[in-house]
Structure 1
Amino acid sequence: MTDDRKALVPVWTLATADVRVSGLTAGESMTAERLAELRGVLAVMADEPIVTLEVHPLPDRIDRGRGIPLDAASPLAQHLSQFVTQSARSSLTVARATASGESLYRMVVPAKVAAQFGQGLVRPMVPKGAAGGIHGALVNSTGRIAAQAKFVPVGGAAAAGTAGGAGATVGVAAAGGTALTVAAPLVLMAVAVGVSAHADRKRQQAIEHITELLEQLQEDKLDDEHSALDACRNAIDKATAILLDQGRLGVSLGLDSAVHAIDTALSKAGRRLARWQSALDGLPEGEAVELDTLTKSFPGVDDHGGTFRTHLELAALAIALMRRVIVLQAVEHAQSEPGNPFEHFTRALKRDQQRLDEMELGIGRVLVRLSALELARPNGLRPVFTTGEVDRLMRAAFRIHQLGGGVMVDSRTTDVAIEIARDKDGSVVVFPALPASA
């Protein structure tokens, strides 16, 4: 929300299975901060994953190119349309908020639930030219929804289905306590597409950086690595489209060869990471390091380009591509047993991406250790150094110290927001999942 009006924002509490909780009331408005507290309480109270879904006016300007578009016939769009239609029948607030047919839906997954599908999966992505900002269609530059919005809980009078599949039957959570709307397919598909879009956004950023670096390096071997990874995108995009339409993956897609190329790149990244860690372990503890000594193990670390920085971006690209593949595998597992899609989805995600989280954390720790190093004056017989040598040392120190900026070396999970723009024809665009703020 960007204006000063106290707009009423309908918010649903969705469960992925039959669940009962106490102490929830519908119809009484609350602030964004109170809503965040409610999400935390629900995450503690219930054994099953519980998320909230808000509906906001669609912004006049929105960069749809950042998201993944799905037509009105896709399962996610159908589940969302069914959900909105039935909710509007029983709630005047919902009917008014969705009357235009164009809305921005925001699903927030609490940190406890987000941890089920990976510790390091969703992290802030700072856009160029907007320090302190994060990518998002709804939030402002501080990552917060305007405080003027009032959130109105909507009762569990509608549901998007209790089983997977586009034709899932409508059902409401079992009676007793407060019944939450059961919408496992809606939650599953929204999380899957949002996470996939987030990983693809990181892929785009890595590609941009690699292209810039390779133009400076003119290194054929690294260019071949880049080309092999970039060629995987087509197969992954096709597989994503098929699975999100609940089709079956076939050999003709070329996904197997794409996964092989990504695995090869991850293997190279793992070996490079081990060498970097060994090189840092071999440095004298607490002593200044000569720049020439450092660049032997980390070539180009003192420059904007360089082999080391290209290796970092290639690792980031491979990780981003594999995260998309893992989402595909998780969705396929979930759709094979529609009775409990979210359980299969989260189990597959958490198991397979643990090694990716560990690699990212390992690279982050290497960068932090590098940034903390003190550079020594070059050894030599001359008591005075030239202006060029001094300038090089100062530039190198500055660039090396910058390596640790913005690096996350822990795996704490925050609430995750997934934004979905819905048009009048029922089609949707799902934007990259991002850390949510109150």
Structure 2
Amino acid sequence: MTDDRKAIVPVWMLATGDVRVPELAGDEPMTAERLAELRGVLAGLADEPIATLEAHPLPDRLDRGSGIALDAASPLAKHLTELITQSVRTSPAAAKAAAAGEGLYQLVVPAKVAAQFGQGMVRPMVAKGTADGIRSALVDSAGRIVGHGTFEPVGKAAAAGAVGGAGATAGVATAGGAALTVAAPLVLMALAVGVSAHADRRRQQAIDHITGLLEQLHEQKLEDEYSELDGCRDAIDKATALLLDQGKLGVSLGLDSAVHAINTALGAADRRLAQWRVALDKLPDDKPVEIGTLTKSFPGVDEQDGVFHAHLELAALAIALKRRVIVLQAVEHAQEDPDNLFAHFVRALKRDQQRLDELESGIAGVLVRLSALELARPQGRRPVFTTAEVDRLMRAAHRIHKLGDGVVTDSRATEVAIEIARDRDGSVVVFPARPA
């Protein structure tokens, strides 16, 4: 983390409605720790979600491949540009940050908003090359975190437009002695794009895993399932690009057929999960399990590229694709009800993703139960086993015990961070949402 404590980082308090909360802070600069405390208090006291937006210098090198690019005419880019334009008139810190025309903006939404998304919408994603690190775009070319300095609240932006609605511009709400910029469309669109990018990253991870598995298995039925799911990507990508530019979805995109294929795959995942649970319930609680008994219900569980692992990846792919569709549906619903933009968006997300959360947590529970099993020695008349048999048992035990590694079972909500790289021409790249 950088030791440059002299840097001034502008931070906006973004309300998603006209809120009134007790006096919490003035316009004085604050530390990162104080800002985190303020976020927690605002989340607990405010009737409407209140996010924070920080402006940092754009790192020299930034991997944009994981994000979703939007041009300067997109709603998100226009709302961000408008917020910056209004703020520079009254805030020297904002004016200095915006002078370069480019920057890296980090939006943090409170934990209770993340809870409304459901436990599975945003989860940690392990960075390559680290055991448990979470990749963040907010680093420079040397890998140091940028912009960790003194945070200066941006004062009142020029009030204009209504509080809500897809066409609303930034207004002002008063929270005691602090000014909150009302920017529901900006927060909504950033969440929509960030969550969509997160789901797409999970989709790509699942594809990377399943491609190698199917090359080894040569299972035509599984290949057909995968091909049908992967064929949905084009329709979802086009619908995402269209809707995030505030267009209207039509049947010509093929989204309806894509949703049908995804729902079919989710149905298969539900049936497999039910079968796995029944099989686990039949196993003795206090006795070791023979590997042969286990593989009857979980074929290939003891192999690196077995059928069981392919079933897991197919389920992960279907869940990731469905999460992108849910975000699209939520944005579409919100745009149809512009006077109730943010609340409508959150309600749509919360209602539709419950099934996915249950499926994902059910699969996680199966993996944890499998990883805790004790394997028995093979039954046979011979008192001594060959070296190959012993090696196979040890490899199987190791692979099965590792099934629980990386499984997320903690459903507590955390703050969600979304990073947005803004270029000089006003276009943006939104990176996958992640736990803050």
TM value normalised by structure 2: 0.96
- Tell me if the contact between 2:157 and 2:170 (Cα under 8 Å) persists in the aligned partners: no
Matching residue of 2:393: 393
AA partner of residue 98 (structure 2):
T
> Structure 2 CA distance, aligned partners of 1:241 and 1:92?
35
In 2 relative to 1, CA 319–85 (structure 1 residues): closer, same or farther, beyond 3 Å? same
Deviations 1:378-435 (A, max 9, x none): 0000000000000000011011000001111232111100000000000000000001
Greater Cα offset, 27-36 or 117-126? 27-36
Provide the secondary structure at the position in 2 that maps to 1:384: coil
- Tell me if the contact between 1:31 and 1:147 (Cα under 8 Å) persists in the aligned partners: no
AA partner of residue 336 (structure 1):
E
Matching residue of 2:268: 268
- Tell me if the contact between 1:421 and 1:429 (Cα under 8 Å) persists in the aligned partners: yes
> Structure 1 CA distance, aligned partners of 2:160 and 2:260?
37
> Structure 1 CA distance, aligned partners of 2:312 and 2:159?
45
> Structure 2 CA distance, aligned partners of 1:158 and 1:313?
50
- Tell me if the contact between 2:371 and 2:402 (Cα under 8 Å) persists in the aligned partners: yes
Task: Give the deviation of 1:158 after TM superposition.
Answer: 4.1
**Residue 164 (str. 1) matches residue 165 (str. 2):** yes
AA partner of residue 85 (structure 1):
T
Matching residue of 2:117: 117
AA partner of residue 131 (structure 2):
A
In 2 relative to 1, CA 144–285 (structure 1 residues): closer, same or farther, beyond 3 Å? farther
Provide the secondary structure at the position in 1 that maps to 2:173: coil
- Tell me if the contact between 1:32 and 1:147 (Cα under 8 Å) persists in the aligned partners: no
Provide the secondary structure at the position in 1 that maps to 2:107: strand
**Residue 430 (str. 1) matches residue 422 (str. 2):** no
AA partner of residue 421 (structure 1):
A
In 2 relative to 1, CA 273–378 (structure 1 residues): closer, same or farther, beyond 3 Å? same
Task: Give the deviation of 1:38 after TM superposition.
Answer: 0.9
In 2 relative to 1, CA 373–427 (structure 1 residues): closer, same or farther, beyond 3 Å? same
Matching residue of 1:16: 16
Matching residue of 1:318: 318
Matching residue of 1:410: 410
In 2 relative to 1, CA 160–376 (structure 1 residues): closer, same or farther, beyond 3 Å? farther
Aligned residues with identical type, % of pairs: 75
> Structure 1 CA distance, aligned partners of 2:148 and 2:306?
48
In 2 relative to 1, CA 263–159 (structure 1 residues): closer, same or farther, beyond 3 Å? farther
What's the RMSD between the two structures over aligned residues? 1.9
Task: Give the deviation of 1:311 after TM superposition.
Answer: 0.3
> Structure 2 CA distance, aligned partners of 1:176 and 1:96?
27
> Structure 2 CA distance, aligned partners of 1:210 and 1:359?
19
> Structure 2 CA distance, aligned partners of 1:108 and 1:52?
5
Provide the secondary structure at the position in 1 that maps to 2:88: helix
Task: Give the deviation of 1:133 after TM superposition.
Answer: 1.5
Provide the secondary structure at the position in 2 that maps to 1:65: coil
Matching residue of 1:341: 341
Matching residue of 1:50: 50
Task: Give the deviation of 1:350 after TM superposition.
Answer: 0.3
Gaps of 5+ in 1: none
Matching residue of 2:64: 64
Task: Give the deviation of 1:4 after TM superposition.
Answer: 3.5
> Structure 1 CA distance, aligned partners of 2:375 and 2:158?
64
Task: Give the deviation of 1:30 after TM superposition.
Answer: 1.9
Matching residue of 1:210: 210
Provide the secondary structure at the position in 2 that maps to 1:295: helix
AA partner of residue 220 (structure 1):
Q
> Structure 2 CA distance, aligned partners of 1:405 and 1:248?
42
Greater Cα offset, 232-241 or 263-272? 232-241
AA partner of residue 128 (structure 1):
K
> Structure 2 CA distance, aligned partners of 1:148 and 1:74?
29
AA partner of residue 404 (structure 1):
G
Provide the secondary structure at the position in 1 that maps to 2:294: helix
Q: How does 1:175-324 map to 2 (within 5 A)?
A: 178-324=178-324
AA partner of residue 390 (structure 1):
V
- Tell me if the contact between 2:5 and 2:150 (Cα under 8 Å) persists in the aligned partners: no
> Structure 2 CA distance, aligned partners of 1:97 and 1:76?
19
AA partner of residue 388 (structure 1):
A
AA partner of residue 88 (structure 1):
V
> Structure 2 CA distance, aligned partners of 1:156 and 1:297?
62
